[in-house]
Amino acid sequence: MDITTFDVKSLIGDPSKTIQEKMVLFHQVIEEAKRRKLYLFFFFLYGPSENHILATTLETGEPRDMIMMASNNYLGLTTNDEVKSKTKAAIDRWGIGMAGPGTLNGNTTLHQEFEAKLAEFKKCDAAMLFPSGYSANVGCITALLGKDDFFIGDELNHASLIDGARYSRAQRIIFKHSDPVDLERCLREISEKPGQKLVAVDGVFSMDGEIAPLQPIVNVCKKFGVMLLVDDAHGTGAVGKLGHGSLEHCDVEGKVDIVMGTFSKAFGCYGGFIAGSKELINWLRHFARAGMFTAALAPMTVAACMGSLEVIKNHPELVQRLHENSAFLHKSLQDMKFDLGPAQTPIIPVFIRDRAKAYGIVKEAYERGLFLSLIEYPAVAPGTERIRLTAMATHTKSDLDYAIDLLGKLGRKYGVIP
């Protein structure tokens, strides 16, 4: 019943057990991990999520100050004063929610204004808000594809793209990670077949911090006349000189049919959007079930996200600081010989490839005031366990130095680096 060795994948797929038996067994695993103070998920914070947080240590149960290195709050906007005051003003003007979907109950002019600004930011004609990035991907893909169609995706795509493809019932074709040649092979194989074809990739791969080769991917899609969706959840606000995202970084702005983004990362809030042509957005408004059959974002959330967008546009120095901090963290860890895979963005995965060691390092870091995330199955394949560090513009030099020094000590103690 050791959480560091328990085979979760086999348990889920075990046909000899009922779901009730699986739940009982899994509950025992988690309870045992908690008893051994080795349960590293679903922590509770005592204050806002910033570069420093207040959270309880596992051993003492007492709150303590910790450096946050596991947040997608890339620019520190969760607590930005300008954004907070716009949010408060929106509550006074609009109340706390829409109490229903925009389809029938209506959206506010604030929603309309924000959608126009997002479209402009992404160099697209129009945009539509969704309750989350997850639902934006699921809503968009299921509105475009049906059972006689094809979904062609990178093998490391985010779960929300995979789930959208599953729910659409389209035939799923997976191409080798970030390999436009393999994408071309897949498209050639189905080129004579009837049905819609949609290619989808993460702009930034969330578990690896790697940017997709969008130039050649755009070219291959154009050559075969198929639509391309780029999930820019982690790129929006964080990647590219101006924070426009992975399309800016790859110089393909305005050349991608469908751009998805989220407000749960650099925007410091929650909610998602799809940007594209006017015709696409009109189609999604009427057929994207994950946007139609669910409540509209609350005006205060829209005001918060629009506030964040203004900060991103008006303060490119924040994005620049994020990039400087990411580069410093990356170089320091690389110099110590940590395996960082292909990371190019503020997401820096430290590959451990051993669950027991990964658990040990994350727990010890936590007890010493460094909050990290342990990434294992089902987020990544078994055997590719990693600790994911995320740089923020608001990390100070001493935050970064402390994290680098502690990781060095723990890496040597656990035999991960020489």
Ligand X SMILES: Cc1ncc(COP(=O)(O)O)c(C=O)c1O
Cα separation of 132 and 129, whole Å? 8
Nearer to ligand X, 111 or 158 (CB): 158
Where helices occur in 278-389 by DSSP H, the ranges are: 278-287, 289-292, 299-314, 316-335, 355-367
HSE toward the beta carbon, residue 28, CA cutoff 13 A: 9
List the catalytic residue out of 158, 197, 244, 265.
265
CB of 98 to ligand X, least distance (A): 18
The residue of the chain with the least Cβ separation from ligand X equals 133
List the catalytic residue out of 206, 246, 264, 326.
206
CB of 306 to ligand X, least distance (A): 16
Beta partners for residue 389, in sequence order: 348
Beta partners for residue 63, in sequence order: 56
CB of 335 to ligand X, least distance (A): 28
Q: What is the contact surface with ligand X in residues (CB under 6 A)? A: 132-134, 158, 160, 202, 206, 231, 233-234, 262, 264, 272
Kindly state the tokens that stand for 165: 């493809």
CB of 158 to ligand X, least distance (A): 4
CB of 356 to ligand X, least distance (A): 26
Is residue 265 flagged as an active site residue? yes
Nearer to ligand X, 183 or 233 (CB): 233
Q: Please report, for residues 39, 107, 188, 349, 375, the alpha-carbon distance to residue 160 in angstroms, rounded to integers and kept in the order given.
A: 26, 25, 26, 20, 17
Before 316, cis peptide (omega within 30)?
A: no
DSSP 57-104: -TTT--EEEEEE-S---TTSGGG-HHHHHHHHHHHHHH-S--SS-HHH
Nearer to ligand X, 178 or 206 (CB): 206
Under 8 Å between Cβ of 346 and 326: yes
Cα separation of 315 and 236, whole Å? 14
Nearer to ligand X, 158 or 197 (CB): 158
Nearer to ligand X, 207 or 220 (CB): 207
Is residue 49 flagged as an active site residue? no
List the catalytic residue out of 197, 234, 249, 363.
234
| Positions marked catalytic | 206, 234, 265
